[in-house]
């Protein structure tokens, strides 16, 4: 099958290569000329035979919107667009409606597999009408892992990215659990081999997983993670998952806490913890640390001048 691939970064480039290895003809475009087969979206569309199929693999938000808008001007009735980026599912519904007015079909596809997808295949979660999904099924069959699993037609337009959003929210919670367990083991005076403990869980335990394999791999490279700073970015899908939970009145305490933990990782000096420290000093006389790094006196320290509050207030 012939397909245009827009966005040839770490994911898109490997996906294009997997498709080529699978016998498909891929015409690729990227804003980096050295990665592209064509010099513009216009040339990409001209190189494809009608009815055309185009896969968009660019960052969610403005970049995707710009690409969809331009494709809407360049493509013709009967063509199809697949958005394989991490778009918000509500954007999918708008994009589908905009393209439908011009007779262009739209499928949203959540993609998971990261840099390992070229070798192992990509998990695909699609949304759209059956006819549109079936039309690009040869592409999905090549991209997915071998076997029965790894692909789902999740529902109507937006369902693919909604499923991928929830997948990423679950990933947040799992990663946070591994992170907290690692920190506790590292803090222990009893456990001497933290890396080995994680490695021992890879076989026969209920928490064995690819994430556990990747953590062990990271610990083998840097046993105490001393070369890393405790800072974690979020892609946006964790936020969308929590917002969707609010919209549907579904409690997500683990995923929400994992998202907030990532926010906390970006604070070298937490404003909220300043308040906690001040209150602990006020009611319990606990020592405080100054912004310069020195330690202040608590209420029960020699020379401390703390007046207790009056009763009844």
pLDDT digits 0-9 by tens, 87-108: 999 999 999 999 999 999 999 9
179/245 same-domain check: yes
Beta strands in 98-243 (DSSP E): 105-112, 123-127, 151-155
Which of the residues 130, 144, 164, 195 is marked catalytic?
Answer: 164
pLDDT digits 0-9 by tens, 173-223: 999 999 999 999 999 999 999 999 999 999 999 999 999 999 999 999 899
pLDDT digits 0-9 by tens, 63-77: 999 999 999 999 999
206/260 same-domain check: yes
Instruction: Identify the CATH number of the domain in which residue 231 sits.
Output: 1.10.1040.10
Could you tell me if residue 310 is inside a domain? no
pTM of the predicted structure, to 2 decimals: 0.85
Number of domains into which the chain is organized: 3
179/195 same-domain check: yes
226/251 same-domain check: yes
Task: Place 114 in a pLDDT band, splitting at 50, 70 and 90.
Answer: confident
Could you tell me if residue 313 is inside a domain? no
Q: Which domain holds residue 21?
A: 2-157
First to last CA, the chain: 77
107/224 same-domain check: no
Q: How do strand 80-83 and strand 105-112 relate by DSSP bridges?
A: parallel
CA distance 176 to 184: 12
Are 144 and 123 a contacting pair, CB within 8 Å? yes
78/174 same-domain check: no
42 counts as catalytic: no
192/280 same-domain check: no
């Amino acid at each position: 099958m012939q397909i245009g691939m827009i966005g040839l970064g770490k994911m898109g480039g490997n996906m294009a290569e997997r498709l080529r290895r699978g016998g498909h003809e891929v015409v690729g475009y990227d804003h980096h000329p050295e990665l592209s087969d064509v010099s513009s979206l216009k040339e990409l569309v001209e190189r494809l035979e009608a009815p055309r199929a185009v896969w968009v693999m660019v960052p969610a938000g403005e970049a995707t919107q710009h690409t969809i808008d331009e494709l809407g001007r360049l493509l013709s009735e009967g063509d199809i667009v697949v958005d394989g980026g991490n778009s918000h599912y509500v954007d999918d519904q708008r994009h589908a409606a905009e393209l439908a007015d011009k007779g262009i079909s739209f499928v949203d596809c959540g993609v998971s597999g990261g840099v390992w997808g070229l070798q192992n295949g990509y998990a695909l979660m699609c949304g759209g009408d059956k006819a549109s999904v079936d039309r690009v099924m040869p592409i999905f069959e090549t991209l997915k892992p071998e076997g029965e699993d790894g692909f789902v037609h999740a529902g109507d337009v937006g369902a693919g990215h909604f499923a991928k959003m929830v997948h990423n929210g679950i990933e947040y919670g799992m990663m946070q659990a591994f992170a907290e367990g690692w920190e506790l083991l590292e803090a222990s005076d009893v456990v001497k081999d933290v890396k080995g403990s994680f490695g021992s869980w890879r076989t026969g335990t209920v928490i064995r997983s690819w994430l556990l394999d990747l953590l062990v791999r990271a610990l083998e490279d840097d046993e105490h993670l001393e070369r890393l700073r405790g800072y974690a970015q979020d892609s946006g899908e964790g936020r969308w998952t929590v917002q969707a939970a609010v919209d549907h009145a579904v409690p997500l305490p683990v995923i929400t806490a994992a998202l907030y933990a990532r926010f906390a990782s970006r604070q070298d000096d937490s404003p909220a913890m300043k308040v906690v420290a001040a209150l602990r000093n006020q009611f319990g006389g606990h020592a405080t640390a100054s912004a310069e790094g020195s330690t202040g006196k608590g209420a029960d320290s020699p020379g401390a001048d703390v007046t207790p509050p009056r009763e009844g207030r």
